[in-house]
Amino acid sequence: MKRILVTGTAGFIGYHTAQRLLDAGDCVAGVDCLNDYYDPQLKLARHRELTARYAEFQCHEFDLCDFDHTADLFSSFRPDLVCHLAAQPGVRYSLINPLAYERSNLAAFLHVLELSKVHGVERFVYASSSSVYGGNQKLPFSETDPVEQPISLYAATKRSNELMAGTYARLFGLNTVGLRFFTVYGPWGRPDMALWKFTENILAGRPITVFNDGDMYRDFTYIDDIVSGIKAALETADLANDEIFNLGNHRSEHLLELIAVIERATGKEAVKQFEPLQQGDPLRTYADIDHARDRLGFTPHTSIAEGVPRFVEWYRQWIEHKPTPA
């Protein structure tokens, strides 16, 4: 049993990660500030689920930009491992609200990294993103490809995280592991992402906005597969300092194929409104996962044909039973 500090536990990936670790018998302290980037009721519901289901879950609700509060949590919980998932996500949002990224993705990241060093944690695992590959033309994207030309501020902060973590690994011997997630989806997902927006509008009979005539490809990765990769990154013995892994599904799906799968799952036809490609959006993502397979035993096995209907089923339940704001 390990003592694991997971940040962003009211968020999509953090919620599922905490659940898997608690199911395995680990002791988890979760922290999240429940900001209003998207419906805080959804974040609150995730924290409530964790608190109700697991007596051993320690739930903390504060902003990691508050260094003293974060330091107090490290001192009282004394984590063996840290899994830092809290961040301001969103490529497009970083074009309109860049300052949101300064605090959560740079200051808070550095706070958790520094405290992980001060407390001598065994490993610091953190979320990076496929967006660091920018407009990379070489497919699939490999960890050895150049990542020096991000095309969004969000991507620039994620690449900065990798550089900060790598510096701590070299300077102080901190064992850091970065995970480049590729478009994660599934139950309890994020309302700002395409799968949620498409499902919501298709079910309501409203048009959906499809960029670049739908001529885009994404490596959609099911949440349970991602969490298996995160757990392996926390537990696999003898990972070198400053390791970085792609966690993707190793299938690059056409956006119109995703829409067709949602249409089948909802039993409704989409009304598509086409718009030009958005700034910051890469045309294609596609993960080379050889490194993660070799070192972490990472083997994703959920296709969008299996995963999307699970999301749609969860979404229908959520909309029906969603708690009303206090």
Ligand X SMILES: NC(=O)c1ccc[n+]([C@@H]2O[C@H](COP(=O)([O-])OP(=O)(O)OC[C@H]3O[C@@H](n4cnc5c(N)ncnc54)[C@H](O)[C@@H]3O)[C@@H](O)[C@H]2O)c1
Query: Catalytic residue positions?
Result: 154
Interface with ligand X (CB under 6 A), residue from 45, 81, 87, 232: 87
Cβ proximity to ligand X: between 54 and 109 the closer is 109
DSSP state of 323: P
Inter-residue contact 263 to 269 (CB < 8 Å): yes
Cβ proximity to ligand X: between 135 and 173 the closer is 135
The angle formed by the CA atoms of residues 63, 127 and 31, to the nearest 5 degrees, is: 30
Inter-residue contact 152 to 88 (CB < 8 Å): no
> Min. distance of Cβ 135 from ligand X in angstroms?
17
CA atoms within 13 A on the CB side of 237: 0
At residue 59, what are phi and psi to the nearest 5 degrees?
A: -100, 125
> Min. distance of Cβ 28 from ligand X in angstroms?
15
Sign of CA pseudo-dihedral 54, 57, 61, 64: negative
184 binds ligand X (CB under 6 A): yes
Cβ proximity to ligand X: between 116 and 129 the closer is 129
Give the range of 62-70, 116-124, 260-268, 280-288 binding ligand X by CB under 6 A. 62-70
Cβ proximity to ligand X: between 9 and 201 the closer is 9
Give the range of 5-13, 21-29, 249-257, 305-313 binding ligand X by CB under 6 A. 5-13
The angle formed by the CA atoms of residues 201, 206 and 212, to the nearest 5 degrees, is: 75
The angle formed by the CA atoms of residues 188, 190 and 192, to the nearest 5 degrees, is: 155
Give the range of 33-41, 238-246, 267-275, 293-301 binding ligand X by CB under 6 A. 33-41
Q: CA nearest 86: which of 125, 56, 57, 51?
A: 125
111 binds ligand X (CB under 6 A): no
> Min. distance of Cβ 30 from ligand X in angstroms?
10
Residues that bind ligand X (CB under 6 A): 8, 10-14, 32-35, 43, 63-65, 85-89, 104, 108, 127, 129, 181, 183-184, 190
